[in-house]
Structure 1
Amino acid sequence: MLVLIVAIAVFAAWAWLSYPRIGHWLYDLSMAAEARLYRLHKIEVPIREMTVSTWQAGPYEAADAILMLHGYSADKNIWLRFARHFVSSHRVIIPDIAGHGETGFKAGGGYDIPLQAQRLIQLLDICGVDKVHVIGNSMGGYIAAWLAAEYPDRVASVALIDPAGVTSPELSDLARQLAKGKNPFLIESRDDFQQFYRMTMATPPWVPGVVLDAVAERYQDRREELAEIFDDFHASPPMEPKLASIRAPALLLWGREDRLIDVSSVPIWSRGIPNLRVNIWDGIGHMPMVEQPGRTARLYRGFLQGLGR
Structure 2
Amino acid sequence: MFLILALIATLIVWGWWTYPRIGGLLFDLITRLEARLSRVTEVPVAIERMTLATFQGGARHNAPPLLLIHGFSADKNLWLRFVRSFVADHRVLIPDLAGHGKSGFEAGGDYSIAAQAQRMVEMLDASGIDKVHVVGSSMGAYIGTWLAAHYPERVLSLALMGPVGVNLPQPNEVEELVKQGRNPFLIHSRAEFDRFFAMTMASPPWIPGVLLAAESQTYIDRRAELAEIFDDFHDSPRMEPWLSRVRVPTLLLWGREDRMVPLASAQTWMAGIPHARLECWDGVGHLPMVERPERTAAQYREFLNGVRESCIA
Report what 2:241 is aligned to: 241
The CA deviation string for residues 237-290 of structure 1, in whole angstroms up to 9 with x for no partner, is 110010001001100001111111111100100010132011011111001111
Aligned to 2:176: 176
| Alignment correspondent of 2:97 | 97
Alpha-carbon offset, residue 14 of structure 1? 6.1
Give the C-alpha shift of residue 181 in structure 1.
Answer: 1.6
The reply on whether 1:214 has 2:214 as its aligned counterpart is yes
- Aligned partner letter, 1:303: F
Unpaired runs of 5+ residues, structure 1, are 1-10
Shift of 1:174: 1.1
Instruction: Name 1:33's counterpart in structure 2.
Output: 33
Aligned-residue CA RMSD (Å): 1.4
Contact 2:186 2:227 (8 Å CA) reproduced = yes
Give the aligned residue type for 1:72: F
1:17 is displaced (CA, Å) by 4.8
Match for residue 185 of structure 1? 185
Is the Cα–Cα contact under 8 Å of residues 61 and 90 in structure 2 kept in the other structure? Answer: no
Distance between the aligned counterparts of 1:134 and 1:14, measured in 2? 45
- 1:173/1:90 Cα in 2 relative to 1: closer, same or farther (>3 Å)? same
- Corresponding residue of 1:111: 111
Cross-structure match for 1:205: 205
Match of 2:135 in 1: 135
Q: Is the aligned partner of 1:283 residue 2:283?
A: yes
Structure-2 separation of matches of 1:308 and 1:153: 17
Equivalent position SS for 2:243: helix
Aligned partner letter, 1:225 = E
SS in 1 for 2:19: coil
- 2:30 and 2:272 map into 1 onto residues whose CA distance is 41
Structure 2 counterpart of 1:272: 272
Structure 2 CA distance, aligned partners of 1:96 and 1:279?
A: 27
Quick one: which amino acid aligns to residue 160 of structure 1?
L
SS of 1:19 mapped into structure 2: helix
SS at match of 1:207: coil
Structure 2 runs not aligned, ≥5 long: 1-10
TM-score (norm 2): 0.93
Paired with 2:81 and 2:295, the residues of 1 have a C-alpha distance of 11
Confirm or deny: 8 A CA contact 2:45 2:51 kept in the other structure.
yes
Determine what percentage of the aligned residue pairs are the same residue.
55
4+ long deviations beyond 3 Å: 11-17
Cα deviation for residue 167 of structure 1 reads 1.2
Q: CA–CA distance in 2 between the matches of 1:16 and 1:265?
A: 42
Cα offsets for 1:120-153 (capped at 9, x unmatched): 0000001111000000000000000000000001
